[in-house]
């Protein structure tokens, strides 16, 4: 395909030139498969630590073709697995260290982009999670209480009642919201395109339109190899940074489940319209429903709004036709107008794409020094910040493996999630979860109190 994905973010780059594919064999220090955030941040951090490294990035389409060019633009400290999971497996201290690293990364990512002169509309306005029913209020209060028990204070997460929201932001029917300052809004495609330019300036080679067909592990006498359709790359380390498209790699179909998240965007809205709803500081927003939604006020005053709901496709299939789902787009438009009833402008953009979800919802960073194979991913939709964090961990483990760092000592580093079940169990389980979440939201929108489906959903998700 070798063309940008059809997202709002990419629309301003229509007709942009594509980098040349790899046409001959290479010998490098590090070969990176995937030109998204993970791959490009990894290249940047490697070369910042050691400018003499020979690094190549191989991208099958164009840099940012995957989730990096299609996401909701949240630089957040969110983590896809519950805090209780981290505490149970690794202890409270490990959880606190991880929390601080993620919160600091929200700031340092913005600093890094600014230092490299990447204009990506970074604005740290925090994030609001609205509660619009009694069930959602109860859920929010439980989350606040649980966070407090783990040492999260009101500086990091607090409740805003209706009177507090009046001066910040609101949506129709809001009974309150939780607020965290640890989130920024960005323009995703500007960030990923800027990173590609930066790593080239630092000395890396970036080849687009270069599809990897096979990776061969290294041995004590032979470097690892990356086989493409037209060339072979030999490297001391090979980093797989393919996230939702990992299923296309050999023997990786059960590593991550590709789940589809879709988005819509409006035309720019007037200043008077925004005065009615607030969002002057551009906080990102969602609500306490089970089937995740997420939104932002863009720099040009649009609403960019996304959510889950697309089915998982049997056999972890990823195809371009799944990027669009008319029923999900219609549901997103309805949900957006429920939040903002005076919204009367057109929906100008609709798009979607796959993200990668591991079986236990825990991301991973792995570097095997014996084989030279490394990987990072499994972000389950929280990848803007996690990709930056994981790239720093990869760079530390590759350049200074004997020196522990805050990144390399994170609890999800050098651990692998168990593989997903065989089909049809994988298809049945994931789609059952989507159906339960949909039903629970439907019930709670029409009744006071929580749906019994939430119990089954929690059991299915293992939380």
> Greater confidence, 6 or 414?
414
DSSP string, 257-303: EEEEEEEEEEPPPPHHHHHHHB-TT--EEEES-SS-EEEEE-TTS-E
9-18, 306-315, 440-449: least confidently modelled range: 440-449
H/E run at residue 180: strand 176-180
Q: What is the pLDDT of residue 13?
A: 87
| pLDDT average, residue stretch 84-98 | 96
Query: With contact defined as beta carbons under 8 Å apart, do 202 and 46 qualify?
Result: no
Tell whether the model's pLDDT for residue 154 goes beyond 90.
Answer: yes
> Greater confidence, 75 or 459?
75
Q: Identify any residues that bridge with 180 across adjacent strands, giving them in sequence order.
A: 127
How much is the mean pLDDT over the chain?
95
Residues 244-298 pLDDT 10s: 999 999 889 999 999 999 999 999 999 999 999 999 999 999 999 999 999 999 9
CA distance 356 to 35: 15
Helix (H, G, I), strand (E, B) or coil at 228: strand
For strand 74-76 and strand 55-58, is the pairing parallel, antiparallel, or unpaired?
A: unpaired
Residues 6+ positions from 118 with CB-CB distance below 8 Å:
190, 191, 194, 195, 198
Query: With contact defined as beta carbons under 8 Å apart, do 101 and 386 qualify?
Result: no
CA distance 315 to 212: 21
CA distance 4 to 11: 9
Residues 6+ positions from 96 with CB-CB distance below 8 Å:
151
Tell whether the model's pLDDT for residue 453 goes beyond 70.
Answer: no
Q: What is the pLDDT of residue 457?
A: 66
Query: With contact defined as beta carbons under 8 Å apart, do 190 and 121 qualify?
Result: yes
Q: pLDDT-derived band of residue 240, with 50, 70 and 90 as boundaries?
A: very high
Q: pLDDT-derived band of residue 238, with 50, 70 and 90 as boundaries?
A: very high
| pLDDT average, residue stretch 186-210 | 98
Q: What is the pLDDT of residue 463?
A: 47
CA distance 313 to 453: 23
For strand 183-185 and strand 364-368, is the pairing parallel, antiparallel, or unpaired?
A: unpaired
Prediction pTM value: 0.96
Q: pLDDT-derived band of residue 448, with 50, 70 and 90 as boundaries?
A: confident
Q: pLDDT-derived band of residue 3, with 50, 70 and 90 as boundaries?
A: low
Question: Please, what's the largest Cα pairwise distance for the chain?
Answer: 68
Query: With contact defined as beta carbons under 8 Å apart, do 373 and 217 qualify?
Result: yes
Nearest C-alpha neighbor of 384 from the set 60, 9, 110, 28: 110
102-106, 113-117, 118-122, 229-233: least confidently modelled range: 229-233
């Amino acid at each position: 395909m070798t063309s940008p994905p059809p997202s709002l973010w990419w629309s301003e780059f229509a007709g942009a030139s594509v980098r040349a594919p790899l046409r001959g064999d290479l010998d490098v220090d590090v070969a990176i498969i995937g030109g998204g955030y993970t791959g490009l941040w990894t290249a940047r951090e490697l070369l910042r630590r050691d400018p003499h490294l020979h690094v190549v990035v191989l991208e099958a389409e164009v840099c940012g073709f995957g989730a990096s060019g299609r996401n909701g633009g949240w630089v957040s400290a969110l983590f896809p697995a519950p805090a209780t999971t981290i505490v149970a497996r690794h202890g409270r201290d490990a959880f606190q260290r991880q929390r601080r690293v993620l919160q600091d990364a929200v700031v340092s990512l913005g600093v890094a982009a600014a230092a490299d002169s990447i204009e990506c509309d970074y604005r740290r306005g925090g994030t609001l999670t609205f509660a619009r029913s009694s069930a959602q209020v109860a859920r929010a209060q439980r989350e606040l209480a649980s966070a407090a028990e783990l040492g999260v204070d009101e500086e990091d997460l607090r409740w805003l009642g209706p009177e507090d929201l009046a001066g910040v932001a609101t949506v129709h029917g809001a009974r309150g919201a939780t607020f965290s300052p640890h989130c920024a809004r960005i323009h995703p495609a500007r960030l990923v395109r800027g990173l590609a330019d930066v790593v080239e300036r630092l000395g890396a080679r970036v080849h687009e339109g270069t599809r990897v067909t096979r990776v061969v592990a290294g041995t004590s006498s032979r470097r690892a190899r990356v086989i493409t359709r037209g060339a072979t790359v030999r490297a001391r380390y090979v980093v797989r940074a393919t996230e939702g498209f990992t299923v296309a790699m050999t023997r990786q179909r059960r590593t991550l489940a590709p789940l589809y998240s879709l988005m819509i965007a409006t035309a720019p809205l007037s200043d008077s319209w925004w005065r009615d709803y607030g969002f002057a500081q551009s906080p990102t927003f969602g609500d306490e429903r089970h089937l995740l939604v997420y939104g932002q006020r863009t720099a040009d005053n649009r609403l960019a709004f996304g959510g889950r709901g697309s089915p998982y496709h049997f056999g972890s299939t990823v195809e371009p036709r799944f990027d669009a789902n008319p029923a999900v787009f219609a549901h997103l438009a309805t949900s957006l107008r429920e939040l903002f009833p005076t919204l009367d402008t057109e929906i100008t953009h609709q798009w979607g794409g796959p993200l990668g979800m591991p079986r236990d919802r825990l991301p991973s960073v792995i570097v095997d020094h014996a084989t030279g194979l490394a990987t990072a991913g499994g972000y389950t939709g929280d990848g803007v910040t996690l990709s930056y964090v994981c790239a720093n961990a990869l760079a530390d483990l590759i350049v200074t493996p004997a020196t522990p760092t805050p990144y390399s000592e994170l609890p999800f580093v050098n651990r692998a999630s168990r593989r997903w079940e065989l089909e049809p169990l994988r298809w049945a389980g994931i789609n059952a979860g989507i159906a339960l979440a949909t039903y629970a939201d439907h019930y709670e929108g029409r009744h006071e109190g929580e749906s019994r489906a939430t119990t089954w959903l929690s059991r299915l998700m293992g939380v």
